[in-house]
Amino acid sequence: MIYGYCRISTPRQNLERQVRNIKAAYPDAVIVREIYTGTKMRERKEFEKLLRKVSDGDTLVFDSVSRMSRTSQDGYKTYEELYKRGVSLIFLKEPHINTSTYQQAMDNQFSVKIKTGDQASDELMSGILNAVNNYMLNLAKRQIQLAFEQAEKEVSDLHQRTREGIETARLNGKQIGLAQGTKLVTKKSVNSKRLIQKYSRDFSGILSDKECMKLIGISKGSYYKYKRELRLECSG
C-alpha cells in the first residue's frame, strides 16, 4: 500500500496543496488528512493510526519532512523505526533523505563486508574500503538528522519572530488580542448560549450546571463564561 500523509496546523490553512503534490507523484496513494497544532508526534491521532497500520513493503509519502515531524529527535527516531519495519519513506521536497538513499548506503556496506570476507586479501585495501563505507553510511544518517533539525529550527524561528512582533506592537502602543471586556462571537458560543438558556435551571430549563455541561459538551470554563455573558445580556 502507498499512503500519503498530509497535515496542517489550523483549519485556516490549505491541506489540498499537499494532497495534489502527493497525488501527482503517486496517483494511487491513500491520503490521510490531519489538523494538529503542536510538535509532539505521538499526540497526532491519525498519524498514530497510520503508524500502527503500515507494515513491511508499504510506502509512506510526505510532501516535506516537516509534515512528518518538526522535532529532530522524534523525527529521526520514527524514521529509523519505520525503516527497520520495512516501510519506505518518501519526502517529495527532500528526496535525498528517502529511505532508498539510506538503504543504498546500507547495501554498499554489506557488499564490502562480503568482499572483505570472501575475496579481499590485502588488509590495507580492506581497511580503506570499510572506512569509505562507514563514512557513506554516517553521511546518510547525518543528512537525515539535518533535515529534521532544519524543520525544528523553522518552527523555533517562527515562534521567535512571532514573539518579537508582539513585543514590537506592544511597545508601539498597539492593542494585542481582544480588548478587555470584548466578547468574541462564534458559532460555538451562540449555539452554546442558546442551549444554556433552554436547559439551565438558572434560565428556562431544569438542569443543573453539571448536567448542562454534559449535555452541551463544553468545558467548565466555557460554560461559566457563557453564563456570565448571558446574565449581563439579560440584565442589559
β-pairing, 2-8 vs 30-35, is parallel
CA distances from 137 to 6, 72, 113, 234 (A): 29, 19, 13, 71
Res 61: pLDDT: 96
| Closest alpha carbon to 45 in 36, 58, 37, 56 | 36
Q: Report how many helices (DSSP H) and strands (DSSP E) the chain contains, helices first.
A: 9, 4
Residue 207, helix vs strand vs coil: strand
| Closest alpha carbon to 97 in 53, 139, 36 | 139
Beta-strand ranges (E) seen in the chain are: 2-8, 30-35, 59-62, 88-91
- Eight-state DSSP code of residue 200: B
Residue 47, helix vs strand vs coil: helix
* pLDDT per residue rounded down to tens, the chain (236 residues): 999 999 987 777 788 999 999 999 999 999 999 988 766 666 788 999 999 999 999 999 999 888 888 677 788 888 888 988 999 999 998 888 888 877 776 666 545 444 545 555 556 655 665 665 555 556 557 677 777 677 667 656 666 776 777 777 777 777 655 555 555 567 888 888 889 988 888 888 888 998 889 888 888 888 998 888 888 777 65
Q: Is there a contact between 135 and 127 (Cβ–Cβ < 8 Å)? A: no
| Closest alpha carbon to 154 in 50, 75, 82 | 75
B/e letters for 127-152, b = 16+ CB within 10 Å, e = fewer, are eebeeebeebbeebbeebbbbbbebb
Res 37: pLDDT: 73
Round to whole Å and give the CA distance between 33 and 136.
35
- Eight-state DSSP code of residue 59: E
Within a 10 A sphere around the Cβ of 5, how many other Cβ atoms? Answer: 23
Res 2: pLDDT: 96
Res 114: pLDDT: 47
Residue 1: all three cell numbers together: 500500500
| Closest alpha carbon to 29 in 56, 52, 50 | 50
Q: Is there a contact between 101 and 140 (Cβ–Cβ < 8 Å)? A: yes
